A = this chain, B = another copy of it.
Amino acid sequence: MAGRAARPGGACARAEEPGGPRQRRRLHHHPFGLQHGQRVPQHGPRPREPAGGVPRRGLPDGALQALVLREHPPRQGHPADVPCRLPGDPAPQGDEIAKAAGDLQNARTARILFGNERFRRGSGGTGVEKAKSIKEIARLAGVSTATVSRVINQNGRFSKETEERVLRVIRQNDYTPNMSAKGLRTSRTRVIGVVVPDITNPHFANVVLHLEMEFTRRGYSCLICNTNESSSLEKKHIRSLTAQNVSGIVLISSTRNYTELDSLPVVYVDRPSRSEKERGEGVMIESDNTQGGYLATRELLGAGCRHILILKCLGNDSNQLARYRGFQRAIGEAGVEEEEALRINLDAVSIDGARKAVADLLDGGVAFDGIMSTTDTMAAGAVIALREHGLSVPRDVLVTGFDDCQLAEACGPGLTSVHQDVAEMSRLATELLFQMMRGERPERSHYRLPVTLTVRKSTRR
C-alpha cells in the first residue's frame, strides 16, 4: 500500500490513495465490504448491499449546518487559506433550512433532527467477525444468558465455578457488552453528559479534564456539549442528552428551568442560578467567587493600591458579579471609595478586548495603581496594554487575575491569581452525581469551595 505511487493532488502534497485508481469512482461501494459467508437475517437491519440498495436521498450532512450556524458560528481561523477542500462539498442550503430552525416543522427538519446514517457498515467486514453477544458467551460457557448477565453485573445467584467459567469465556473472547442494548434495557448508559459554555476556556477545559478522569475511573464516559453561551443550543444539547439516556448530567449554566431534567441526576457546576432560587432541584457546586474577588483585592490593597481598576465582563457568567462583590467588600473594609471611572465592563472575555479597553483608559489619562481582573485572560490583556504604555508591572501598577490558569504563569512577570480547586470541584461533582444516580440524596444541595490566592510577581514589587 505504502509503495503505491502518490498522486500529485492539489495544494496538499503527498496524498495517497489506498484503494488505487480503479476503485476511486465507486463511491457508493462501502469500504468495509460484506463478508461472504455471512448470514443474512430474515428481519432486522439489512446488511449493506454491494452497490444499489436504497439510493441516498434527503439532505446531505451539510444540511444542519445552516440551521445551527446562526447561533454557533464557526470561529474564524485564517479565512484566506482553505486548502485541500474536498470536491463535492455541498454548499449549505441556507434559507431553505434556516426557516425551519428551532422546531420540527416539516419532514426535512425531521430528517435533520432524527435522520439515520444511511450507510452502515456491514456487521462483518474484511475478516472482521461480528461482535460477540451475551448469547454466544452463554453458549460457550454452557450456561444461560441470564447467568452470564448476573456474573457480569455481579448480581449474585451464581456459583463460584460458574463465575470462573463465564469470566474465562468472556476473557477469551474479548467480549464487551453492547451498551446500546444495556441502555435500552436499563435506561442508563454509563455515559454522563457535560454541558459547558466553551471548552477552549482554560478553566472549563480543566474542569472537563478532571470530570472526564473521574468518570473514567468509575467506568463512565463523558459526552461533551459546547453551548457557546447560546441558550437555545444548550436546550438542544440537553434534549439530545436525555434522548440518549445519559446516566447523569453536569451542567455549567445559570439556567435551571429544564423540565427535561426533572427525572435525571444533575449537578450544576461553577455558575449559580441567576435568580438565586429559580428551581430547588439539583445540586450546585461553585467556588467562593466573592471570597476570591475579596482576596485578590486585599492583595492589591495590602500592597498599597488605592485606585484599583476593576476589569470585568458582562454576560452569562454570574460569577463575574460575585467576584466584583468581593472587590467591593474589600475596598469598603479598607475605606477606599469605588471610582466610577475605574470600572471596565467588557462584552466578552478576550485578551485583545481587555488590552484595548485598558489602553483607552490610559490614553484618556485615567490614573490607577492596581487592576483587579475577574479573569486571567483579561488580566493578560491589561498587562500588555500597560507594557505598551511604558508602564511596568508591578512597579507602576499591580495586577491580579482569576482562575490561575497557564496564562497567569506565563503572563508578564507572573500574574497573581485566584486559584480554584478544580480537581476537588470535579471530584465532588462526580461524587454527588453518583450518589444521585444511586438514588441517594446528597447531604446538601449547595456547596461552595474555598479558593486560594496564588501570589506571583504582579503584586509584589
Contact = CB atoms under 8 A, between A and B. Distances in A.
A1 interface: yes
A72 B217 contact: yes
A93 interface: no
Contacts of A449: 12, 83-84
A443 B171 contact: no
A450 B263 CA distance: 49
Given A14-B448, A45-B185, A277-B2, A125 B410 contact: no
A11 B450 contact: yes
Contacts of A124: 263
Interface string A1-25: 1100001010111111111000110
Interface in A214-229: 216-219, 221-226, 228
A334 B444 CA distance: 67
Interface stretch (A108-116, A322-330, A365-373): A108-116
A27 B277 CA distance: 24
Contacts of A300: none
A151 B2 CA distance: 45
A342 interface: no
Interface in A49-74: 54, 56-58, 61, 63-65, 67-69, 72, 74
A72 to B, nearest CB: 6
A40 interface: no
Nearest to A177: B114
Contact of A218 (B58, B64, B87): B64
Contact of A107 (B67, B167, B410): B167
A330 to B, nearest CB: 18
A64 B413 CA distance: 42
A216 B68 contact: yes
A117 B82 contact: no
The count of identical subunits is 2
A78 interface: yes
Nearest to A279: B1
A352 interface: yes
Contacts of A294: none
A436 interface: yes
A377 B406 contact: yes
Given A151-B107, A222-B224, A222-B225, A83 B176 contact: no
Contact of A438 (B118, B242, B259, B448): B118
A221 B242 CA distance: 12
A236 to B, nearest CB: 8
A255 B324 CA distance: 48
A118 B209 CA distance: 26
Contact of A115 (B84, B118, B219, B265): B219
A120 B180 contact: no
Interface string A392-412: 000000000000001101111
Interface string A93-136: 00000000001111110111111111111011111100100000
Interface string A80-92: 0111101101000
Contacts of A447: 12, 15, 84
A446 B7 CA distance: 11
A31 B209 contact: no
Interface stretch (A186-194, A301-309, A310-318, A356-364): A186-194
Nearest to A86: B431
A104 B170 contact: yes
Given A81-B450, A352-B409, A117 B12 contact: no
Given A407-B407, A410-B407, A434-B61, A27 B440 contact: yes
A178 B68 contact: no
Contact of A114 (B104, B153, B209): B153
A17 B280 CA distance: 10
A440 B83 contact: no
A264 interface: yes
A378 to B, nearest CB: 11
17 contacts: A2-B277, A31-B439, A31-B441, A57-B154, A64-B218, A77-B422, A83-B421, A120-B188, A121-B265, A123-B187, A124-B263, A127-B262, A178-B243, A180-B181, A223-B224, A380-B409, A384-B414
Closest 8 pairs (CB-CB, A-B): A119-B439, A180-B183, A2-B277, A30-B439, A77-B423, A111-B154, A380-B410, A15-B444
